[in-house]
A and B are shown apart, each in its own frame.
Chain A
Amino acid sequence: MLMENRLRILRAERSWSQQDLAERLEVSRQSVNAIETGKYDPSLPLAFRIAELFDLPIEEIFVSPARHSSKAI
């Protein structure tokens, strides 16, 4: 089960393109796109880099799958 996230919203709030975000995170644009579209969950180190870039706790960017499914129930 892949995690949902708010990466696209956070990026849009700053008017960054996927390429802008990729350069800030030092990853490929493909990586940013895959994470945003929920096709790939980042490793913990990359999730921390994302959280530090947006100055937010990880859980405000990535939604815990367990918490998400319990809300759905």
Chain B
Amino acid sequence: MLPNPAMKRYNTRMIRLCLVYAAFLLVAIYSFSHHLVGGPAAYVVAMLPALPIIGVFASVGRYLVEEADEYLRMLMIRQTLWASGLALSLATIWGFLESFDLVGHIDSYYVAVLWFLGLGVGAVMNRLTLGSTVKC
């Protein structure tokens, strides 16, 4: 199997971003639970955990730019289309259900969770329709 440098860099970036996310989340939770921040600083600290999540989106985009193998690139593009379609559709449905007071409120960052789940759905669909997936 040929080494895939783009996928290796993608995996390295993902591991680093997960570690940064865990650290930022702990900082944010600790800061707010101990009332250490207020005013504009509170906004900055509250947004900290979002930064590595945004980094994950950027990382997927970076992988698509760096991947030299056009077939693997197409597989990942199909996964991101599934992810985007799934996350946006479910968020839209939930938004209307919430507007008509039929369901409770869910924090909007769960759209990102849905998107990551959608990547998995996309991988399954690639496997079912093309017989292959991007190997991490």
Interface residues of A (CB under 8 A from B): 19, 22-23, 26-31, 33-35, 37, 39-40, 42-43, 46
Contact = CB atoms under 8 A, between A and B. Distances in A.
B11 interface: no
A40 B1 contact: no
Given A34-B130, A34-B132, A39-B131, A28 B4 contact: yes
Contacts of B4: 28
Contacts of A26: 2, 68
B1 A29 contact: yes
A23 B2 contact: yes
B12 to A, nearest CB: 19
**Chain A interface, >50% SS class:** helix
Nearest to A35: B71
Contacts of A33: 131-132
A27 B69 contact: yes
B70 A30 contact: no
B74 interface: yes
B72 interface: yes
B71 A22 contact: no
Contact of B72 (A28, A35, A39, A43): A28
Given A19-B1, A28-B2, A40 B69 contact: no
B69 A31 contact: yes
A19 B3 CA distance: 12
Nearest to B134: A30
